[in-house]
Amino acid sequence: MGADLRVVVDGVATGWYVAPMGAENEFLQALAMVLGTAAITTVLFRRLRQPVVLGYLLAGFIIGPNLPVPLVADPHLVRLLSELGVILLMFSIGLEFSLRKLLKIGGPSFIVALLAASIMIWLGFSTGRLLGWGPRDCIFAGALVAISSTTIVIKAFNEGGVVGRLRELVVGVLIAQDLIAIVLVAALTALSTGAGLSAEQLVSTTAQLGVFLLGLVVVGMLVVPRGMRAVTRLEQKETTLVASIGLCFVVALLAQRFGYSVALGAFIAGSLISESGEGKAVEQLIEPVRDMFAAVFFVSVGMMIDPLLIAEHGLAVLLLSVVVVVGQSTAIALGAFLTGNGVRTSVKAGLSLAQIGEFSFILVGVGVGLKAVSSFLYPIAVAVSVVTTFATPWLIRASDPVARFVDRKLPPRLQTFVVLYASWVDHLRRAPSRPRERSGLRRLLRLLLVDVGLVAGVIISFSLGRQRWAETVVEGLGVTDGVARVSVLVATLALVGPLCFGVLRIARRLGVMLATSALPDAVAGTVDLAAAPRRALVITLQLGVVLLVGVPLMAVTQPFINGVEGVVVLSALLVVLGIGFWRSTANLEGHVRAGVEVIVEALARQARSGSSTNDSLVDVHALVPGMGEPVSVQLSAASSAVGQTLGDLNLRGMTGASVLAIVRSDVGALVPSAKEPLRAGDVLALAGSPEAVAAAQRLLTDLAP
């Protein structure tokens, strides 16, 4: 008797053969060793309140070939099982990616994820170049540090009881990052199957991948949703499970036959089933199977941990770990703030997402499996993941004090700006959208994308074809090679310059359009009281647009440029815009001081007359636009805030709202200072976004124990 097993040559199945009877024992022995060791280590890590993923990695290291203990599983069999884990992981992710769910995520999460991923890809690529790696190794290094770990973050949030706006923001960014990771899988697959970075090969492999995906999706949309609905109508869970997993492996095998990653095929299979409306039911059915093989996948990753190899590349592990923690937390925080989240929420979101995980292994595995990158990159990715995963719980716990520290250290004019900016973005979201404005906005976005695409095309074409073009100039004009190279460079700059100027102009027009929607212009013939805040909002939005298109452009073109030209140009643009922003915050500070005086006078007048304070604040909002929508809250004698100074309470750092004025029965209205103690009966005028003001109200009305 024997066992039927596939013959695998260079990762490609070629046929069947009858294995000797001992193969079944080896298979069972490997599976028992993997799952038994993983069970012990995960229980241990659960007791230690650490992510179970680390337990899987430790189990893999224990049974791997690099630890001198008599527990060595067959790495080839384990790698075969781990391939099933990759397929089922990607399949389950695809089940969550229905078009309806993507639309619910909203633009802000995609903006944050795209900006952060672009920054991280550039940082990872630059780190690889600094370490002297080859172009493809650098590209994959950028990809592996760009995506945070959904598994680790969600488990940490569940264990820490994190809820509310922070959880919504982080989960939205994680989903958007998963989508970006799928795009990276497709792009890196195309790159890995090509012969190099030549223009012809790049265009050819990308076109082939596009045709394959288009054909697969079109045919799949016609067949799969109808088929899955027919299967589920049978109301047989076993049949649904077998049919869905069977479809997953068929599409994964089809992708492999065409020379692409099985992970890409599994994701497409999950997405097609999701469009049938049965994705949730299928996901619940495959969850136990997926979790088991996912555990095997992480164990197989742990088996590749080689302490000697990691020690040899210790500098790379250290640098990439620092890049992930510092770069990811800063990039996420920046994107979250620009999309209207306060400093506190943005900093906490950034520190929560400062790690890499399962997608990093999958991305690097694509390159290793297709022999496109060096083998040392996989253990480096594992080591960076272990370091950043261990740091994640500590970073989440430290996020609140770090956010308060950042808020305290901001210059006064920036503190004023961050309080009001969140309220402006909230006004922008709630502002009624007219058809003409929507049409103008879409037209500007199309022009922006066209200009950015042309800039990228010109830069890549120049990089890949400059030698050939220089030779053409030498032959046609009879000049020297040096003169020909300069001529090609000048011609390229002549094309890129106007396009970059066009991007700046469109960014300015977008900023003006959006800022006017949030803070409308004054009626003709009247004083424009919102001029200062609108000017600050325009320059901020322009900065945001330049960052949002400039950083991805830099990340895409960096592999084709041997210097730092892109960084220098983008940095120069940001410095110029930053100077304008700093000046606008000075004008905004003067506007706010004048507005506070108006609020104090109005509140004092209302206090003398005995009228409602909130009525007065509504009138003030009309008189001083751009100050948000001030809300009043009265302190009771039992409030825990009574007796504390505003500096000790740190209301802005805790909630993002600011106290504009205080109405006190014996002195009337006054402008508060950080050393002003709060008293029972004080009426505080608060400004900020609705979320921040609501959080401040809860804090101020909290009863002392």
Number of domains composing the chain: 3
pLDDT at 705: 43
- Identify the CATH number of the domain in which residue 696 sits: 3.30.70.1450
Assess whether 103 and 90 both reside in one domain.
yes
Choose between 332 and 639: higher pLDDT.
332
Q: Rounded mean pLDDT of the chain?
A: 78
Q: Is the confidence at residue 560, as pLDDT, over 50?
A: yes
Q: Is the confidence at residue 670, as pLDDT, over 70?
A: no
Choose between 111 and 389: higher pLDDT.
111
Q: Is residue 5 part of a domain?
A: no
Secondary structure (DSSP) of 536-567: HHHHHHHHHHHHHHHHHHHHHHGGG-SSSHHH
Number of CB atoms found within 10 A of residue 328's CB? 27
CA 609, CA 668: separation in Å to the nearest integer?
11
Q: Is residue 345 part of a domain?
A: yes
Going by pLDDT thresholds of 50, 70 and 90, the confidence category of residue 14 is very low
For 318-357, the pLDDT digits (tens) are 999 999 999 999 999 999 988 888 888 889 999 989 988 7
- Nearest CA to 359 out of 74, 151, 65 is that of 151
Going by pLDDT thresholds of 50, 70 and 90, the confidence category of residue 116 is very high
Range of the structural domain that residue 579 is part of:
412-583
- Identify the CATH number of the domain in which residue 183 sits: 1.20.1530.20
Helix 565-609 vs helix 613-623: angle between axes, to the nearest 10 degrees?
140
Assess whether 358 and 246 both reside in one domain.
yes
Q: Is residue 589 part of a domain?
A: no
Assess whether 338 and 460 both reside in one domain.
no
pLDDT at 318: 92
Q: Is residue 24 part of a domain?
A: no
Going by pLDDT thresholds of 50, 70 and 90, the confidence category of residue 625 is low
Question: Of all helices (H) and strands (E), which one includes residue 21?
Answer: none
Assess whether 124 and 253 both reside in one domain.
yes
Assess whether 393 and 448 both reside in one domain.
no
Mean pLDDT of 680-688: 79
Assess whether 572 and 606 both reside in one domain.
no
Q: What's the Cα-to-Cα distance from 314 to each of 270, 284, 308, 327, 670, rounded to whole Å?
A: 38, 41, 9, 19, 59
Assess whether 665 and 557 both reside in one domain.
no
Number of CB atoms found within 10 A of residue 434's CB? 10
Q: Is the confidence at residue 659, as pLDDT, over 90?
A: no
Assess whether 543 and 621 both reside in one domain.
no
For 472-501, the pLDDT digits (tens) are 777 777 777 777 778 877 888 888 888 888
Secondary structure (DSSP) of 132-158: T--HHHHHHHHHHTT---HHHHHHHHH
Q: Is the confidence at residue 16, as pLDDT, over 50?
A: no
Mean pLDDT of 204-212: 71
For 264-277, the pLDDT digits (tens) are 788 888 888 887 77
Last residue of a domain, one of 409, 433, 455: 409
Q: Is residue 705 part of a domain?
A: no
User: Which residues lie closer than 8 Å to 440 by C-beta, 6 or more apart?
Assistant: 513
Per-residue tokens: 76: 């080839």
User: Which residues lie closer than 8 Å to 453 by C-beta, 6 or more apart?
Assistant: none
pLDDT at 7: 41
Mean pLDDT of 68-93: 73
Whole-structure pTM value: 0.78
Q: Is the confidence at residue 8, as pLDDT, over 50?
A: no
pLDDT at 210: 73
Maximum average pLDDT range among 151-155, 257-261, 437-441? 437-441
Amino acid at 559: P
Assess whether 539 and 632 both reside in one domain.
no
pLDDT at 412: 79
Last residue of a domain, one of 409, 433, 466: 409
pLDDT at 474: 75
pLDDT at 415: 80
Mean pLDDT of 150-163: 72
Q: Is the confidence at residue 68, as pLDDT, over 80?
A: no
Per-residue tokens: 548: 């949002």
pLDDT at 201: 59
- Nearest CA to 682 out of 631, 648, 632, 616 is that of 632
Choose between 543 and 96: higher pLDDT.
543
Q: Which residues pair with 586 in a beta bridge?
A: none
Q: Is residue 6 part of a domain?
A: no
Assess whether 603 and 490 both reside in one domain.
no
Assess whether 529 and 389 both reside in one domain.
no
- DSSP structure class, residue 527: -
Maximum average pLDDT range among 40-44, 307-311, 437-441? 40-44
pLDDT at 322: 94
Last residue of a domain, one of 583, 613, 648: 583
pLDDT at 688: 75
Choose between 463 and 6: higher pLDDT.
463
Maximum average pLDDT range among 79-88, 496-505, 594-603? 496-505
Going by pLDDT thresholds of 50, 70 and 90, the confidence category of residue 620 is low
Q: Is residue 93 part of a domain?
A: yes
Assess whether 300 and 154 both reside in one domain.
yes
CA 599, CA 192: separation in Å to the nearest integer?
63
Q: Is residue 11 part of a domain?
A: no
